[in-house]
Amino acid sequence: MNRYPRDMRGHGPNPPRANWPNDARIAVQIVLNYEEGGENCILHGDAASEAFLSDIPGAAQWAGQRHWNMESIYEYGARAGFWRLHRLFTGRDIPITIYGVATALARSPEQVAAMKAADWEIASHGLKWVEHKDMPEAEERAAIAEAIRLHTEVVGTPPRGWYTGRCSANTVRLVAESGAMDYISDTYDDDLPYWAEIGARDQLIIPYTLEANDMRFATAPGYSTGEQFYQYLRDAFDVLYAEGAAGAPKMLSIGLHCRLIGRPGKIAGLMRFLDHAQAHEGVWFARRADIAAHWAKAHPPARRERPSQMDAARFVAKFGSIFEHSPWVAERAHALDLGPAHDCAAGVHNALCRAFRSASDAERLAVLQAHPDLAGKLAAAKALTAESTNEQASAGLDALTEAERSAFQSLNAAYMAKHGFPFIIAVRDYTKPEILAAFEARIANDTDQELATACRQVERIAEFRLKDILP
């Protein structure tokens, strides 16, 4: 099948209500990335020095050499930045999640002890803080397994959450296949958690952030001052808080790095943001593990049959009657590059309409001619499809007076004689008098105009039918 794997729909236009604890209007989730001692360095067996996320503008890797300045900047994060942040969060009693690179944690026993004493979650940030994009799948799978092993050895408990960061296209699948994680965060695609069906596993995804993130002190376009960081975080908080007050609570992820936000001139902006957020009621500061546990309980996974995953026979059996007596429309729609965005009424409707609109004039006319008359002989004989029966009944066309029945029969005959196809209208949009009035008005139109109108009404009827059976 020609299938598009990316999910452009997500929770759709009506996301689930988060139902955060104590009816919180917003969940604020702060991540502190602990990478110092796990970055690229020839001391770690790497081919070159680190070049990513530091205060050295335009840094480049030094092949085969130690980059003393780069190493020193990373060391600042472990030696000074971490402890400044530790005092900040413990002093305010704010729980956070650590994304801990396993080899970095192994080189920082005092910091690990402090994380544990503060009851911070220590999630896995991979084995080393290096690029995974070019790793062969077997090598990356082995690195994931070793990261879990070393993390467990260093921390004393295995990680239950995962974020690689510098990931490959295989990372999320490989981590999910390990079966070891309550959640994975290597996505940036939502303001709420969601479930991903990866093979037989329902994997919880808790999206992360690269914009409410102090990494932009080291990337362009980015922040130059702590005040800019504060303003961005405040604005993000205020928008999401207002959405929560309106009944649609979300999650605000904030990403931090010891060597970046741990600097005095940068942390001041974070402090101002915390003042702002803590001054509001209904704010849940949570670890990612807490959010994962809440979501699994409040919104457990629920698998359903997905149109984009159906084979052709099942797709046609399910949707072949949406366009009246015209299963070929569903057959052609199935051949399109469907994906997760089509696993809803709007998605299947779009695919079916594409097939219908690209058909020949004769084929579209045949679809129109397959439709029954309104309140006609087939209805009287109870020979309509189930869909047509329900639709006509919804407008009261199954309970006509003799005068109404006579009027419809007369109009049906005159309309067919003039245009060559039955009068088609999405009856669920109208009352019985409105239908009769539209019938009387449209019969006078020219046939080309009526053909276009009838085709639009056929698509509208299909939309109603799909909403009856799909989200």
State both tokens at 80: 């000074």
Distance (Å, rounded) from C-alpha 165 to C-alpha 147?
14
Three-state SS at 302: coil
469 within 8 A of 387, measured Cβ to Cβ: no
Distance (Å, rounded) from C-alpha 3 to C-alpha 13?
23
426 within 8 A of 464, measured Cβ to Cβ: yes
How many angstroms separate the Cα of 200 from the Cα of each of 50, 174, 203, 275, 293?
38, 13, 9, 44, 20
If phi > 0 it is left, if psi is from -120 to 50 it is alpha, else beta; for residue 429 that is alpha
**CA-based angle 64:70:74, to the nearest 5?**
125
Residue 259: which of 87, 108, 74 has the closest Cα? 74
Catalytic residue among 86, 132, 334, 371: 371
Instruction: List all residues 6 or more positions away from 14 whose beta carbon is below 8 Å from its beta carbon.
Output: none
Whether 371 sits among the annotated catalytic residues: the reply is: yes
Q: Which residues are catalytic?
A: 371
